[in-house]
Amino acid sequence: MQKKIIRSNVVNPLLQQTPFPLFSAVKPRDVMAAVAILLRRNERTVTELLRPKNGPKKGTNAATGELKKHANFTWKNLIAPLEESEDDFSKAWSIITHLRMVKNTPELRRVYAKVLPMVSRYFTAIGQNIRLYRAFLQVMQSKDYDNLEPAQRKIITETIRDFHLAGVALSKEHKKHFAKLQLRLSKLTNKFSNNVLDATYGWQYYATPAEVSGVPSDVLTAAKNAAIIAQRQSKKMKRATRAVTYLFNLDMPTYQAIMLFADSRQLRKKFAVAYATRASALRPHSKSHDNSKIIEEIIRDRVAIAAILGFNNYAEFSLATKMAKTPRQVITFLTRLARHAKKKAKIELAELTLFAKEHCGIKKLKPWDITYCSEKLRQQKYCVSQEELRPYFPLPRVLSGLFVIANKLFGLNICEVAAKKFDKWHQDVRLFAIYVGATKELRGHFYVDLYARPQKSGGAWMDSCRTRYRRTGGKLQLPIAHLVCNFAAPVGNNPTLLTPEELRTLFHEFGHCLQHLLVTADYANATNINQVPTDAVEFPSQFMEHWCCRKESLRLISGHYETGRKLPTQLIEKLQQSKNFQSGLQTLRQIEFALFDFKLHLKNKAQKFGAVYRLLKQVRQQVRVLPALKCDRMLNSFEHIFSNGYAAGYYSYLWSKMLSANAFAVFRKQGILNKTVGKSYLHNILEVGSSIEPMQAFENFCGQSPKLEALLEEDGL
């Protein structure tokens, strides 16, 4: 068995050193082989690094793992080779985790579930390695420490912090229990995510022509094609019943289109209920996807992890790596913001209720009416609709205009890489290179995968594929990023047309890409975007959203898909006037999620699902003004906090939005396409990565600490 795995090193695409990953060549069997080889290799590396030249008996105390003084560890002989070893694993693992998100086949899912425990055990063991921990301490206490670069010193201090968060100081018995908890959590969060994906695409609905009044034509065309394909493939349907209808599922483009535009209240209700009950016991046909018990188990293990490390609760544990430092600071921030948002939200709800009664014939607003009536109200108030704007935002034009904005702001040149020069996991994937400055220095590449499809997780995200890193010997490894969205795919010869909300999504994820690709440090643990605290990492992404509704930038990203005509001045003015439409209601929705998440993780005891749901109801009573579905089980698909790393950190979106509002205020004063300000933002924010503290980076650019008032002003609160 050993020889078979080693032989696979010759052909295993996950282990080959190529300019770009060989995504399409990866087979499920490659995953197990590559992970096994790389983890064993890393384990040997750590063992060798910790073995003093004079022999283990003279260099260490076998009983305590204590390193004696003559075992002289430095950045060069300990941290640099360790970082290189970790980067080799990271590059392969990023391919595996990415494919799991964008091409989640049953075969890949099975092998991923098998290797996940191996990876969890390895990183837990590294985090609890007392000898490695003491070696880092020795480097920090050495006379050479002060001669290291600030980024190197920050890496060392944060690594020592992370050792403690991994349980390095625990007793042997407690270390075993901690490792067991971490392993179980990794399995639970993976299962949670799989259940959401299966529940989203497992639900289908055949609609008749009479039901789909108001739904955009491109959505109907896609649904009609899906129905034809499904009916042809179905062996159970009799020929006489194969009338062409529309087949819908719950992917985001479809769901949003139904809730925004479908005139049928019954159709909207059907979709609202189906979406809100995903991965719950309220889906009788898919009880195997129920996440209720998984939520209980995740909470139980998080409470145990916090307790075993000496924290009062998991929220305190989470804040150990965040910009915000105390639970009180987070709760105060959210509560203060809620006071302002709720005042405006009540006014907005009263306006919407009256409008629904007078113009939509709806006497009492239901949850499935909110989005639909809000869109109608927006049209009446500002004489502009999402459908009227979409033709001016064909995806190709938006993407090229976005790159022009990046050039004007930061001096970036972004060029597409020819398809024959790289491998892809799907035919729609594209690759771009990013250059900086007059010298056109290549800084990295990013893939774009923009269309929804089965076996692809919903939502939008950016992730690291490779990290900027100067390897041993001086060779510079350039970063690569993934930019993933779930827009509706083009139908026929027409391009995908984006709504204003989808514009923001694209700009948001592009902002993440810039932070990952433009960093200039040479150390992987200072350049990897995953090292940036979540309440700081959402700052550059939300910052870019500001360019979605400004006159100067709208001229650059718009162009009617048939005529090429720019967005007319009249529509630009209407779009700007509607920028803060229902901002109170939208902000309250985010506060609801953030407060629930944080209060849930402030608990110091495990919670049953019923108690968790009651907490959500309490939070809603505190901040919500809109009606809620009685059958709502949004918790069961709340991936951000139960599978995507935002536990006790969902507040990060609002916190970072405050940072972005303060930063954008600098541009408002000087000009939103001001190159001087853009250069300052590039150098002080985008290029620093996690090499300095995020608050220091923010203050270096803005010249002051962040103020909530900037966010209130920007959002009209």
pLDDT of residue 477: 95
Instruction: With a cut of 60, say whether residue 65 has pLDDT above it.
Output: no
Q: Which of 684, 319, 690 is nearest to 521 (CA)?
A: 690
Sort 72 into a burial class: Cβ within 10 Å, 0-12 / 13-18 / 19+: middle
pTM summary value: 0.92
Residue 213 lies in a domain: yes
Which helix (H) or strand (E) segment holds residue 246: the answer is strand 246-248
Q: How confident is the model at residue 666 (pLDDT cuts 50, 70, 90)?
A: very high
CA 22 to chain centre: 23
Please give the full DSSP string across 373-391, using - where no structure is assigned.
HHHHHHHHHHS--HHHHGG
Q: How confident is the model at residue 409 (pLDDT cuts 50, 70, 90)?
A: very high
Cα-based torsion angle of the residue sequence 127, 128, 131, 134 in order, rounded to the nearest 10 degrees:
70
412-416 and 469-470: which strand pairing?
Answer: unpaired
Token pair belonging to 669:
């004063």
Say whether both 55 and 155 belong to one domain.
yes
pLDDT of residue 130: 96
Token pair belonging to 501:
């909300």
Cβ atoms of 56 and 128 within 8 Å: the answer is: no
Angle at 716 between CA 712 and CA 717, to 5 degrees: 55
Cβ atoms of 422 and 431 within 8 Å: the answer is: yes
Q: Residue 428 gets which letter from DSSP? A: T
Residue 491, CA atoms < 13 Å, CB-side half-sphere = 14
246-248 and 476-477: which strand pairing?
Answer: unpaired
Say whether both 108 and 163 belong to one domain.
yes
**pLDDT, tens digit (0-9, with 9 covering 90-100), for 289-347:** 999 999 999 999 999 999 999 999 999 999 999 999 999 999 999 999 999 999 999 99
Rg of the Cα trace of the chain? 26
Token pair belonging to 622:
């505190």
Instruction: With a cut of 50, say whether residue 518 has pLDDT above it.
Output: yes
Residue 442 lies in a domain: yes
- Residue 126 is part of a domain; what is its CATH number? 1.10.1370.40
Residue partners of 375: CB distance under 8 A and separation at least 6: 260, 261, 385, 386
Token pair belonging to 604:
């110091």
End residue of a domain, out of 462, 496, 530: 496
Highest mean pLDDT among 7-21, 69-83, 260-274, 566-580: 260-274
pLDDT of residue 67: 53
Residue 124, CA atoms < 13 Å, CB-side half-sphere = 21
pLDDT of residue 383: 87
Say whether both 215 and 68 belong to one domain.
no
Distance CA 526, CA 171 (A): 31
The letter for the amino acid at 425 is W
Average pLDDT over every residue of 602-628: 93
Average pLDDT over every residue of 683-706: 94
Cβ atoms of 597 and 350 within 8 Å: the answer is: no
Token pair belonging to 369:
């009416």
Q: How confident is the model at residue 285 (pLDDT cuts 50, 70, 90)?
A: low
Percent of the chain topping pLDDT 90? 83
Average pLDDT over every residue of 688-706: 94
Q: Which of 372, 370, 382 is nearest to 213 (CA)?
A: 372
Q: How confident is the model at residue 566 (pLDDT cuts 50, 70, 90)?
A: very high
Residue 615 lies in a domain: no
Average pLDDT over every residue of 189-195: 95
Token pair belonging to 562:
């048939």
Distance CA 321, CA 307 (A): 17
Residue partners of 564: CB distance under 8 A and separation at least 6: none
Say whether both 209 and 84 belong to one domain.
no
Instruction: With a cut of 50, say whether residue 358 has pLDDT above it.
Output: yes
Say whether both 140 and 216 belong to one domain.
no
End residue of a domain, out of 240, 259, 278: 259
Residue 290 lies in a domain: no
Say whether both 126 and 54 belong to one domain.
yes
pLDDT of residue 283: 78
- Residue 469 is part of a domain; what is its CATH number? 3.40.390.10
End residue of a domain, out of 496, 514, 531: 496
**pLDDT, tens digit (0-9, with 9 covering 90-100), for 260-279:** 999 999 999 999 999 999 99
Residue 694 lies in a domain: no
pLDDT of residue 71: 66
Residue 463 lies in a domain: yes
Q: Residue 212: give the domain boundaries.
A: 203-259
Q: Which residue has the tokens 């009617």?
A: 560
What CA–CA distances, in Å, run from 646 to 245, 259, 304, 388? 40, 27, 18, 36
Instruction: With a cut of 90, say whether residue 6 has pLDDT above it.
Output: no
Average pLDDT over every residue of 274-291: 86
Q: Which of 716, 712, 579, 591 is nearest to 652 (CA)?
A: 591
Q: Residue 528 gets which letter from DSSP? A: -
Neighbours of 412 (CB within 10 A): 23
Say whether both 7 and 148 belong to one domain.
yes
Cβ atoms of 624 and 374 within 8 Å: the answer is: no
Instruction: With a cut of 50, say whether residue 58 has pLDDT above it.
Output: no
Say whether both 64 and 164 belong to one domain.
yes
What CA–CA distances, in Å, run from 394 to 217, 232, 549? 15, 32, 16
pLDDT of residue 349: 97
Distance CA 9, CA 30 (A): 9
Cβ atoms of 392 and 558 within 8 Å: the answer is: yes
**pLDDT, tens digit (0-9, with 9 covering 90-100), for 234-245:** 654 444 345 568
Cβ atoms of 489 and 451 within 8 Å: the answer is: yes
Instruction: With a cut of 50, say whether residue 402 has pLDDT above it.
Output: yes
Cβ atoms of 716 and 583 within 8 Å: the answer is: yes
Say whether both 161 and 210 belong to one domain.
no
Q: How confident is the model at residue 458 (pLDDT cuts 50, 70, 90)?
A: confident
Say whether both 146 and 220 belong to one domain.
no
Which residues are identified as catalytic? Answer: 509
Question: What's the structural domain count of the chain?
Answer: 3
pLDDT of residue 59: 47
Say whether both 107 and 31 belong to one domain.
yes
Average pLDDT over every residue of 370-384: 93
Orientation angle between helical segments 327-359 and 652-670, nearest 10 degrees: 80
Token pair belonging to 47:
């063992």
Say whether both 216 and 124 belong to one domain.
no
Residue 163 lies in a domain: yes
Residue 232 lies in a domain: yes
Q: How confident is the model at residue 218 (pLDDT cuts 50, 70, 90)?
A: confident
